[in-house]
Amino acid sequence: MKKNNRKDRVKVLLIDEDAGMYGQIVNVLSTADYKVYLSESAQQGMQMSTSICPDLILMDTCLSDMEGLALIRWFRNWTDCPILVLSAEESGETKAQALYAGADDYILKPFCGTELAARVYAVLRRRIPGGQTACYEAQDLTIDFLRRQVRLEGEEIHFSPVEYRILEYLAMHSGTVVPYQMLLEKIWGPYASSGSRILRVNMTNIRKKIEKVPMEPAYIITIPRVGYRMLESSPDERMKSAHEA
């Protein structure tokens, strides 16, 4: 995987009471340039998830303070973040229950580093909505969802992790209106305040970075009292315009 600017790295939340696995997992994911956050309990993992807004959750279902399937369902109530279960439970029924609860994949312990890296990459790739390409393109703005890279007129633009997640979510749903509250809950979790200024502040920062020419059509349009709509991705139209020019 191509290395990104440090602050743009994919964030992985690991929830596991087996401290003996930490070294192997952190080594594998750090080598692939992921940023790993460690949690030794379900409750700690729940709290961390709403503050760091992970891009991927790795978790064991054998946790002493909460039933693993219940934790998966809790995450699924507010986030579509991919969940990869790491477990020593190898029965087919256990795997099926985890997947039905909302997990995206299931890997048995012990596992090799190569398999873990491949599974992580695969679930991150699958998080792109059905029918959605791996890249957003509109006018001079390009967003590569797999590499988490944003380019404006060919120049790479860097965002804070929260700014990128907001931009990515809007881009993945380009052409449609995303309500304020939906965006708040997707980024900050179930405890997001509907009256919070944090979304407006981040949107201001995002616009400053991608809308450098005020006279041109905005990439992100505000729908008063409703939400935001991002200019629809249209790579075919971009190619057509280039040929006509």
3 falls in which pLDDT band (50, 70, 90)? very low
Residues 6-126: name the CATH superfamily: Response regulator (3.40.50.2300)
pLDDT digits (tens, 9 = 90+) for 115-153: 999 999 888 877 665 545 678 998 889 998 877 789 998
pLDDT tens-place string over residues 19-68: 888 888 998 998 888 889 999 999 999 999 888 888 899 999 999 999 99
What residue ranges do the domains of the chain occupy? 6-126, 135-244
Which is nearest to 32 in space by CA: 53, 50, 51, 58? 58
Q: Would 6-126 and 135-244 be classified into the same CATH topology?
A: no
Look at residue 2 and tell me whether its pLDDT is greater than 70: no
Q: How far apart are CA 219 and CA 209, in angstroms?
A: 11
- Contacts of 184 by beta carbon, 8 Å cutoff, 6+ apart: 192, 193, 194, 196, 199
Q: Give residue 245's pLDDT.
A: 35
**What is the rounded end-to-end Cα distance, in angstroms, of the chain?**
35
pTM: 0.61
171-175, 212-216, 241-245: range with highest mean pLDDT? 171-175
**Which single residue is written with the structure tokens 């703005």?**
141
Q: What pLDDT digit, counting tens, does each position of 146-200 carry?
A: 777 899 988 999 888 788 889 998 998 888 899 888 888 778 776 666 666 888 8
**Statement: 135-244 belongs to CATH 3.40.50.720:** no
